[in-house]
Amino acid sequence: MDQVMWLRNSAAEERWLVGVSGGADSVALLHLLVEKGFRDLVVCHLDHGLRGEDSTGDAEFVSKLAGEFGLLCEIGTADVKGRMAEKGESLETAARNVRHDFFGKCAEKYGSEKILLAHHADDQAETVLWNLLRGSHGFKGMREEQQLATESGVELRLIRPLLGTRREKIIEWLKEKGHKWREDTSNKEPIAVRNRLRNEAFPLLNEISNRDAAAAFIRGAENSADHVALEDWALKQANVLDPQGRLHLPVLRKLPVALQRIAVRKFLLFHGISSLDADLIERSLELLDIENSAVINLPGGGRLRRRAGRLWVEI
């Protein structure tokens, strides 16, 4: 696990929040941080209210582990099923949103917006496959560092030091060190998309291809990061935004169609429009033609409008 570059290149004396579920990945991350000299850590654990006594056991395990290291520990609770019913969200979306809200509260309480998460390379492969199935642009995965605004407006900096490490390596390291962790038996149940990808889709892809399918998706995510850097450079050279941050149509029309799609997609993402698909991008590009309607509806209730040679988002 010495190959985790982030741990060697970061300031161990600073305060960091670290999300610890009690599972193998987050427990390994916590042990690694302590081993590398990180001492001002705040262990953050959220009980999602989904697994009864097992959830209580996870919270007790994490609290005890933090105590053994002499670390601050924040234990929270959430009603994920209640949010699902109220918001009409999927299990995974509701769980993610309550986690981010919890991390935001921890950030305000402890004066640090930096939260370390234990997503690893196999999580990345699942993310890429699911995003492709939903119509994403390229091999879209998680980033090692990401800025995120919670629903309450708290700005978080999410950092994933283990994103390049396979889960089997993490398990091997834990066993070699003699560290204990908690197993989440619900991970075996076909009740969430990630569970089915992990337990059904990837084993089938391995069988069909006679190779480690996850490795291909992980490489795809790494290559995609290079493509994104090139896209950002190309758009910066094109100077597609006006001083007010709106898309400048005379410039946009001169770009190749592929770059037009990229410019519109990044523009919408910047304005918080995350539910993007190919159909929405193509409808957005139709605004470049003045013979077409000057406005289209966006997910979440906003609109993309054309006026005076500009495109902008109305919320």
Give strand pairing partners of 311: 247, 306
Of the residues 202, 222, 248, which one is the last residue of a structural domain?
A: 202
pLDDT in tens, 24-73: 999 999 999 999 999 999 999 999 888 778 888 999 999 999 999 999 99
CA distance 131 to 140: 6
Is 56 within a domain? yes
| Contact indicator for 107, 154 with CB cutoff of 8 Å | yes
Of the residues 202, 227, 250, which one is the last residue of a structural domain?
A: 202
Does residue 174 sit in the same domain as residue 262?
no
> How do 247-248 and 310-314 pair as beta strands?
antiparallel
3-class secondary structure, 145: strand
Phi, psi angle pair for 169, to nearest 5°: -70, -40
Of the residues 202, 218, 249, which one is the last residue of a structural domain?
A: 202
Does residue 172 sit in the same domain as residue 259?
no
| Contact indicator for 314, 306 with CB cutoff of 8 Å | no
Does residue 151 sit in the same domain as residue 18?
yes
Does residue 41 sit in the same domain as residue 126?
yes
**pLDDT of res. 137:** 64
What does the radius of gyration of the chain's CA atoms come to, in whole angstroms? 22
CATH (domain of 198)? 3.40.50.620
CA distance 125 to 252: 34
CA distance 155 to 149: 4
What total of structural domains would you count in the chain?
Answer: 2
CA 177 to chain centre: 29
Range ranked top by mean pLDDT from 70-74, 183-187, 290-294: 70-74
Residue range(s) defining the domain that contains residue 18 = 5-202
